């Protein structure tokens, strides 16, 4: 999984067609899209760089805002692992090495179908990143997306997570 796509509940089939169409436009003829056991969430495996996908969707919104009807959010995933607290901390700290000394970050954990302690994860990850934390004005989001026994990890700039609603609102301003 290198993308998580959210959609309205019970519109997963329509969203699959929409994301597959976009992925074909950017050069992936055979993406793997899976309906997760969480209503309204799809896991996508694509051969296209995830940040290029979000960039392409953003461009599509600028050109044809009506063409995106079902996708709500697109989250690029840099590392996908089995869900274990140790694995999450270890892999997240590897990704966080790109945060420069003068930059700030925040940790965001989205947890679904898991009993892992969010506060413990945040504490262990923060202990391993010797950079300044800022919840409001941050340079990077250290993102942990737990979907049951699978977890997606990323260290992203705020604009890398694409909210269709926000992108369309910005377009109309």
HEC letters along the chain: CCEEEECCCCCHHHHHHHHHHHHHHCCCCCCEEEECCCCCEEEEECCCCHHHHHHHHHHHHHHCHHHCCCCCEEEECCEEEECCHHHHHHHHHHHHHHCCCCCEEEEEEEEECCCCCHHHHHHHHHHHCCCEECCCCCCEEEEEEEECCEEEEEEECHHHCEEHHHHHHHHHC
55 shares its domain with 68: yes
127 shares its domain with 83: yes
83 shares its domain with 152: yes
Q: Residue 51: is its pLDDT beyond 80?
A: yes
Task: Show Cβ contacts of residue 50 under 8 Å, excluding neighbours closer than 6 positions.
Answer: 2, 3, 76, 77, 78
> For the whole model, what pTM was predicted?
0.92
pLDDT at res. 43: 97
Structural domain for 24, as ranges: 3-77+159-172
24 shares its domain with 59: yes
Tens of pLDDT, residues 54-95: 999 999 999 999 999 999 999 999 999 999 999 999 999 999
88 shares its domain with 68: no
11 shares its domain with 63: yes
Tens of pLDDT, residues 118-150: 999 999 999 999 999 999 999 999 999 999 999
Task: Report residue 171's pLDDT band, with 50, 70 and 90 as the boundaries.
Answer: confident
pLDDT, average across residues 22-43: 95
pLDDT at res. 139: 96
pLDDT averaged over every residue in the chain? 95
Q: Residue 100: is its pLDDT beyond 90?
A: yes
CA torsion through residues 74, 162, 138, 110, sign:
negative
100 shares its domain with 42: no
167 shares its domain with 139: no
For residue 108, the domain's CATH number is 3.30.2130.30
51 shares its domain with 101: no
What is the percentage of the chain residues whose pLDDT exceeds 90? 95
Q: Residue 173: is its pLDDT beyond 80?
A: no
51 shares its domain with 118: no
How many domains, the chain? 2
For residue 60, the domain's CATH number is 3.30.70
The torsion angles phi and psi of 145, rounded to 5 degrees, stand at -110, 105
How many residues would you count in the chain? 173
88 shares its domain with 50: no
* Cα 169 from Cα 39, distance rounded (Å): 25
85 shares its domain with 65: no
pLDDT at res. 172: 79
């Amino acid at each position: 999984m290198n993308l998580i796509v959210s959609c309205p509940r019970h519109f997963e089939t329509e969203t699959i067609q929409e994301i597959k169409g976009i992925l074909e436009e950017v050069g992936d003829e055979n993406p793997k899209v899976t309906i997760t056991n969480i209503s309204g969430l799809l896991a996508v495996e694509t051969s296209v760089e995830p940040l290029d996908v979000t960039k392409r969707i953003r461009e599509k919104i600028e050109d044809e805002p009506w063409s995106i009807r079902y996708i709500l959010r697109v989250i690029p995933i840099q590392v996908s692992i089995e869900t274990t607290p140790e694995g999450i901390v270890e892999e997240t700290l590897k990704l966080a090495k790109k945060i420069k000394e003068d930059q700030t970050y925040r940790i965001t954990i989205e947890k679904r179908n898991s009993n892992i302690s969010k506060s413990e994860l945040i504490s262990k990850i923060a202990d391993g990143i010797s950079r300044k934390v800022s919840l409001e004005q941050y340079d990077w989001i250290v993102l942990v997306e737990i979907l049951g026994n699978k977890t997606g990890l990323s260290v992203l700039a705020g604009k890398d997570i694409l909210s269709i609603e926000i992108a369309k609102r910005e377009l109309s301003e």
